[in-house]
Structure 1
């Protein structure tokens, strides 16, 4: 019997609930970014363990229904709850003491994936393309282009996904400012159903996230095993 390639992903995640006043403050996406990083303070020089690198801290935000601005564009509602992922254990108690969080629960997560497993995926993504002439990134405007963007990323991380198994929600603008400079991130809530081809590549993506704007709540992959192929002779057919 042939042994199928297997990889295990382990991490810590925290479920945060923001106070009503903090929801208003964190409607500025940069303020929300600093709130998340506040759970990983820089240790004293005598402490051996360094904080996790910022690129290894990922998060996804639960918000209410989008609002509409004067140009009839969808604007993200204030954040209500945040799911934070990092390899190190955070300390949220100071934020609770300061009245910024009403609740913070940290728990371990483990995914053991094998080749040919079928998984469901959810990700808040920032689908973009880079201009060849200017080198700048531009948001993809159509669901078709966003779907193909996610398909390319899933292929790169060792997943086999049919285009018809990707569902793309509407474009929503997340706004804020940093040191007086306006910030806008255009994101979509996206889901997919995929077959695992390379478990190691998938674990790397679960650790690092996909796409740009990770500092502003994009790129965290949330997966669920929907079908486990116990036979080793033939692949699962979607």
Structure 2
């Protein structure tokens, strides 16, 4: 696995285009990876996940992938320094049951809405709609934890030790569809319950809209307190 860090030049016309159209940013990210046949989704084939993080004076794009990227094809002036690329593993703390870790996740929490009068058990997948209330966002993350091998510890106030924060809405247009994503950034702590499931969540991402900057789970060790 590889992790790239792209420090963006916010004056770049190409970056501003991408910021206004998340599909274009997806295309810019995927330009670093080899072409795949039309029958194979390139993002999934290469294991690409990415996230746009705000910094005090700009933005950094983190990109994770199974395939080593080639960033030479980025638009001129897109970054202010050479992209940093290295193996992901040195940035992964030890993942073992019972260990508490810090994390950051930008995700696309949704719930399924079914047509009125539809019969339970014969509803299909339903229409995904955004989850906007903070308590419901935490419930969504807790359910994902059950699937992906972690639980959310409680803080001193008796509530989950997580800070959900809505991010600016992502919009764009592909060849056929209008894209709207309402991402939420989760910062806080988790406790590993299943190491294999937790590693799979890191490598494969969590939730929907993985092509559009959601799903990348970053972990860090937690300093012991005395």
Q: TM-score, normalised by structure 2?
A: 0.79
Given that 1:55 and 1:214 are in contact with CA atoms closer than 8 Å, whether structure 2 keeps it comes out as no
**Mapped partners of 1:89, 1:83: distance in 2:** 14
Tell me, yes or no, if structure 1 residue 120 matches structure 2 residue 106: no
Query: Counterparts of 2:111 and 2:201 in 1: how far apart (Å)?
Result: 19
- Stretch deviating more after TM superposition (30-39 or 148-157): 148-157
1:175 & 1:63 partners in 2: Cα distance? 18
Alignment partner of 1:101 is 2:97: no
Distance 2:160 2:43 in 1: 37
Instruction: Give the Cα separation in 2 of the matches to 1:88 and 1:59.
Output: 14
Aligned position for 2:183? 187
Cα deviation 1:129-175 (Å, max 9, x = unaligned): 01133710000121111111011111221112135212111353111
Asked whether the equivalents of residues 114 and 199 of structure 1 are also in contact (C-alpha less than 8 Å), the reply is yes
Q: Which runs of 5+ in 1 are unaligned?
A: 1-10, 44-50, 66-78, 229-238
| 1:177 Cα deviation from its structure 2 partner | 1.5
Q: What is the CA deviation profile of residues 150-208 of structure 1, one whole-angstrom value per residue up to 9, with x for unaligned ones?
A: 11111221112135212111353111111374321101111231211111110000010
What pairs with 1:1-238 in structure 2 (closer than 5 Å)? 11-19=1-9, 20-27=12-19, 28-42=21-35, 53-54=44-45, 56-63=47-54, 80-95=59-74, 98-102=76-80, 103-110=82-89, 111=92, 112-133=94-115, 135-162=126-153, 163-179=159-175, 181-226=177-222
Q: Deviations over 1:96-126 (max 9, x none)?
A: 6x44334311011222312111101110111
Distance 1:120 1:145 in 2: 21
When the two structures are aligned, how many residues end up with a matched partner? Answer: 197
Gaps of 5+ in 2: 37-41, 116-122, 154-158
Q: How many Å separate the matches in 1 of 2:35 and 2:166? A: 38
Larger proportion of strand: 1
